[in-house]
Structure 1
Amino acid sequence: MYTTSSVFLKTLSDSGITHAFVNWGSDHPALLEDLSRQGRENGAQSSLNIITCPNEMVALSAAQGYAQVTGRPAVVIVHVDVGTQALAGAIHNLDRCRVPVLIYAGASPFTLEGELKGSRNEWIMWLQDIPDQSAIVRQYMRFTSQIYSGKNIAQVVTRALQSANSEPKGPVYLWARREVMEEDVDGLIMKTSLSPKYWSPVDPVGLNPLAASTISQALTAAKSPLIITSYLGRNTRAVALLNKLSKALAIPVFVSCPSVVNIPLDHSHFIGLSYGAEPNEWLRTADVVLVIDSDIPWIPMRNKPLKDARIFHVDVDVLKDNIGMFHIDAELRCRADAEVALTQLLEGIRTPNLDSLSNRTAQIRQAREENANMLQRLENIVPVDGSITVPHMLSVLRKSIPSNTLVLNEAISNYALVWQHLQTVASIPGMMITSGASSLGWGLGAAIGASLGARENSLKHDLIVLIVGDGSFLFGVPSSAYWIARRYSTPFLTIVLNNGGWKSPKLSLMGVHPGGMGSTLSGQQLTVGFGPDPPDYSQIAVAAGGAWGKRVNEAADLRGTLSEAVNVVMNEKRCAVVDCVIESI
């Protein structure tokens, strides 16, 4: 006997979905029954790899990590309205990072007295019935739909995936009443499949010829051109093209608020990255600026381009329709795919002024040398009390991990330092990622999903490292995450940058009230601190998932501790957590 749930699971499999991160509830009997049927018929094998997740946000973060590594969506299954709400800020992360994931939630039955299979038979089904369940998440979704019947569920699911995989990519949300998922269907439906050829995502769009010509000519003739990007590296082919364009015209590339490796950090024309706080002299002196795939190319209160600079904005999401207020003074704004657009620009460039190229190349080289010397000085600083600085810790970590390590960066107030001091990793496209957004708690779940995705794609990551602040670590629900990691054999190394609380709120205070009454207070006095006795984060992981864990307070102990932790992950195949105590807020 087949049901709507049978067709749902089959359609996911037919569409290339291999992993489902699930949190079961009272609305899922038909799904559980069909998975049981599959297990009996196929020797305990189901059409999907089911990853049981005791927490919904961890499930969705894992699906995001999986999709970021593989480029393919996963599915997340949650429980009615409360499970949907428990997805929490991970929904925001998917939307802003433009990551495709299909979310399915059941809903309370609509019949009361057994009129249909699946009718209400538990008290909670009255309390969980709300007027518009998809309204909880609709503004973050590329597509939402209620499923009404097993007869067309294949079309609904495939339509949702088509939207999720079309730029700007992102999450989609489907939901169905319990009776619908229990509906019997004809076995013939199970023998048919929709052709992917007719349900493909939208093809990438390029620049119109006039725009391509205008931008190419402007870059060729510019005296001080600049390229700014943030997430172009989601497509590694675009990274190679950006490298080529920057070299052809000696254009410096600045990375603003990166979520991926957009240009190798050892590239001869990479001149820096920022999360907006530092002065950007390259922007302030540029006469032509190409902004390509960036949500935040600069923060106007801190940096602005020249008033008469020619600015061109090329982006798959150029109007930022889902951001309430966004604007840059661009001469042209073009909705286009970065790979296609860069190919067009390379075809349109003309022979530049060789003297200008030579001068810019020398200027870029000098700036890179000065930056490298500055980073080296920071790494060599060890306070007289032997405490740990973030640059020094990162330098030791860099020397302790394989070159093909995948790094997940959720260091928040130390975001930029992780990028800058792990340049060997950040010089390989795809080898460092962030949540691409602002909801904390992504990292632990994402490391699980990234591990599963790397395993499925046979990616040669010898090690996965998550660098996370202590606040983000707690937001990541470690009790759930490390249990999942243990059960599904997804070992990774976690470095907790333990500064005793939430540094970012304190920085925000200082940004608005630099001389205010709160500017001289400690984190504890400001109520953003976790002291005086913060948790031993490493031991949370030990208790929850059998991880190896250790707290380290002194720089002299870093090398030995990190070496031991790396060995645990790579050879014992267990998670390891280093609780690294840095300067307190």
Structure 2
Amino acid sequence: MSASSTYTTSTLFLRTLSRAGITHAFVNWGSDHPALLEELERQRIESATGNTTPTVVTCPNEMVALSAAQGFAQATGKIAAVIVHVDVGTQALAGAVHNVDRGRTPVLIYAGASPFSADSEHKGARNEWIMWIQDIPDQSAIVRQYMRHTAQIYSAKTVEKSVKRALQIATSDPKGPVYLWARREAMEEEIDAVSVDLVADMAGWPSVEPSALSPQAATNIATALLEASSPVIITSHVGRSKTAVSALLSLADILAIPIVNACPTAVNVPFSHPSYTGVTYMSPGSHWNGLTHADAILVLECDLPWILVNDKPLPSARVFVVDSGDPLKLGVGYAHVNAEIVCRADAEVALGQIEDALRGMGIRPPGEPWLRGGVNNDNGAESRVSTRRIALADAHRALVNALDTAERVPPYLLPAGQAGTAEPAFTFTAARLMSTVRRVLSAATLSHATRTLVLNEAISNYPSVWQHLRPELPGSIITSGGSSLGWALGAAVGASLGSRAGVTGSDLHELIVVIVGDGSFMFGVPSSAYWMAHRYQTPFLTIVLNNGGWKSPKLSMLGVYPKGHGSSVPGAQLSVGFGPASPDFSQIAVAASAGWAWGERLGGPISSPASEGSNEETFQQKMDSVISEAVRVVLEEKRCAVVDCVLESI
């Protein structure tokens, strides 16, 4: 059989991925992939365009590969594949495995495995020394507790069904990653061309349909929200579905219910909507101040609605939990919410059912009269809703005023010594910086008619980014959904690839913005991420919130020892700081991309205050200028731009 006509299990594997709708594979090759590499080259030779299906994206680091696949799926709603190398490549997926699990992002991960034969019994038998030391008893155990499904591919005859079953599971709630693996001999098995032609699409392998509330549960929740004096909805993830946001706002409008964003991963409520109460990451005193007197609470697509030792609702509050895939949090060692009803139901479907129940009682949206024959209004429900509507508007104005005040704190010059360096330093608050970024992005997107996607991995500055960017559009800001740092840089590459015309259609994002802490930036393996950005021409803007180290561990320490030995010392002394000479993050990106990326540092130590502007107004002008130039570089020159923004050091 000639080389050009040799087909293998690897041929069927790639053909199945392609017929299933997977357009991109993020790969890190190894000794277990000869047949895959051979098949891809056969495709290039036989294709009129020289392309492969799926498109191969080379990733020098496995965590960046999986983060890129996650960003691709988050931006497009379509699943991508990741291909890695035996046990070591599986381990090198690192914390990104946690992120795709907690972020409920469907990804198909495939890893090869060392051959099982050692004396030429099969094609692909062991012929390199590493194949002994990379052979472990249970390779999939490395990641099994994070996966929705793990399985071994045993032969060419079963590969198509193995892949389709994995994809069916990955794309059904609770969506998430799946892991397939195969010994080298299995992937080298030769087949005939007829088998390749018989590979079909996903017909017959649909995702599980969204589930609904029982009629009684929908009625009970609707009645409780209607009769409550102070109802509230708490959510984290409703915004992962843009259509679910509309359903949420419709319900909130009818009953004038405030909505709390608890550790959000998406835009759940437009900033300007009166039900928007802000964002909480549930540190003491940061929750919505109405939680402590709420008498009906709908916990909707939310990992953690409150932390009992910090803030908690009334013991008498009626609590209802609705989650599309895991309402009991089976993937968590311990989790519990005292609730009257716990439901597994799709958020959009459930919200529509609750609204239908209310309409059946005669309740109508603002501006329409309630039907007196449909509901007994002796309890004053309509009056309470009207009063609450006024209170929501007042509270929203107060929130906006508080944010405006925070954003007015100007850039300021810290004297030598106080700045943590031998020179004085210009610095600024995260609120001020985000307001600047918001203004610049708004002007740029209006003039270029672009859609912007922001990837938020600011960690200790998560709330500032959410609040001060003031997002309006569902899908315009996302996070990883997990807590393993290093997602954003790789995710930006994947999101950019996914946002190209022909992949997402109307959901084209022309400007992708990454906002990261300095710690997250280094966890993101910038040497790989910006190399990939250059190689695949995926420009994005990176704003580094550089506070000189890991602020979150210091905050955790202060939460337990607020007046302890470490409460008054700088981060460097606590061993959580990167000072006194922190890396120049912008130039790391420039070097990794062989000079393709553009970078500049904003703020930090200066030898002459006059050179940076002698006052706050002049420095603000520089902030505007640098951020504007960075946006221009991305939009017009189609290059990555990195602005290293030096905040006050921890």
TM-score bracket relative to the smaller structure: over 0.9
User: In 2, Cα distance between the equivalents of 1:322 and 1:279?
Assistant: 25
Shift of 1:467: 0.3
The equivalent of 2:367 in structure 1 is none
Q: Does the alignment pair 1:584 with 2:644?
A: no
The equivalent of 1:519 in structure 2 is 567
Q: How does 1:229-244 map to 2 (within 5 A)?
A: 229-244=235-250
Matched residue type, 1:519: S
Aligned-residue identity in percent: 58
User: In 1, Cα distance between the equivalents of 2:600 and 2:288?
Assistant: 39
Contact 2:627 2:643 in 1 (8 A): yes
User: In 2, Cα distance between the equivalents of 1:56 and 1:384?
Assistant: 41
The equivalent of 1:204 in structure 2 is 210
Match for residue 627 of structure 2 among 547, 562, 568? 562
SS at match of 1:197: coil
Matched residue type, 2:402: M
Match for residue 427 of structure 2 among 379, 383, 387? 387
Shift of 1:354: 2.1
Contact 2:35 2:187 in 1 (8 A): yes
Q: How does 1:364-513 map to 2 (within 5 A)?
A: 364-385=392-413, 386-401=426-441, 402=445, 404-423=451-470, 426-455=471-500, 456-458=503-505, 459-513=507-561
The equivalent of 1:541 in structure 2 is 589
Number of residue-to-residue matches in the alignment: 583
Cα offsets for 1:433-463 (capped at 9, x unmatched): 0011100000000001111111121333231
User: In 2, Cα distance between the equivalents of 1:217 and 1:68?
Assistant: 35
SS at match of 1:376: helix
Match for residue 337 of structure 1 among 334, 346, 363? 346
Shift of 1:384: 4.1
Contact 1:233 1:261 in 2 (8 A): yes
Q: How does 1:223-372 map to 2 (within 5 A)?
A: 223-277=229-283, 278-316=286-324, 317-349=326-358, 350-351=361-362, 353-372=381-400
Matched residue type, 1:413: S
Contact 1:409 1:468 in 2 (8 A): yes
Contact 1:220 1:351 in 2 (8 A): no
The equivalent of 2:416 in structure 1 is none
Shift of 1:481: 0.2
User: In 1, Cα distance between the equivalents of 2:438 and 2:598?
Assistant: 20
Shift of 1:104: 0.3
Uncovered stretches (5+) of structure 1, i.e. residues with no partner = none
Contact 2:20 2:201 in 1 (8 A): no
The equivalent of 2:43 in structure 1 is 38
Cα offsets for 1:20-64 (capped at 9, x unmatched): 000000100000000011111113121111100000000000000
Contact 1:4 1:185 in 2 (8 A): yes
Shift of 1:300: 1.1
Cα offsets for 1:240-288 (capped at 9, x unmatched): 0001000011111111000011121211211121111114322111110
- Stretches (4+) displaced over 6 A: none
Shift of 1:195: 4.8
Using structure 2 for the length normalisation, give the TM-score: 0.89
User: In 2, Cα distance between the equivalents of 1:245 and 1:387?
Assistant: 43
SS at match of 1:196: coil
Structure of larger gyration radius: 2
Cα offsets for 1:474-527 (capped at 9, x unmatched): 000000000000010100000000000000000000001101111111101100
Cα RMSD, aligned residues only = 1.0
SS at match of 1:468: strand
Shift of 1:383: 4.8
Shift of 1:194: 3.6
Contact 1:280 1:303 in 2 (8 A): no
For the structure 1 residues 279 and 235, does the alpha-carbon distance in structure 2 shift closer, same or farther, using more than 3 Å as the test? closer
Q: Which stretch shifts more, 66-75 or 276-285?
A: 276-285
Shift of 1:399: 1.0
Matched residue type, 2:492: A
Matched residue type, 2:472: S
Matched residue type, 1:432: I
Using structure 1 for the length normalisation, give the TM-score: 0.98
Matched residue type, 2:439: K
Shift of 1:556: 4.4
Q: How does 1:61-76 map to 2 (within 5 A)?
A: 61-76=67-82
Q: How does 1:50-61 map to 2 (within 5 A)?
A: 50-61=56-67
Matched residue type, 1:282: G
The equivalent of 2:167 in structure 1 is 161
Shift of 1:79: 0.3
Cα offsets for 1:117-143 (capped at 9, x unmatched): 101111111110000000000000000
SS at match of 2:543: strand
User: In 1, Cα distance between the equivalents of 2:349 and 2:202?
Assistant: 23
Matched residue type, 1:378: A
User: In 2, Cα distance between the equivalents of 1:247 and 1:165?
Assistant: 31
Matched residue type, 2:281: Y
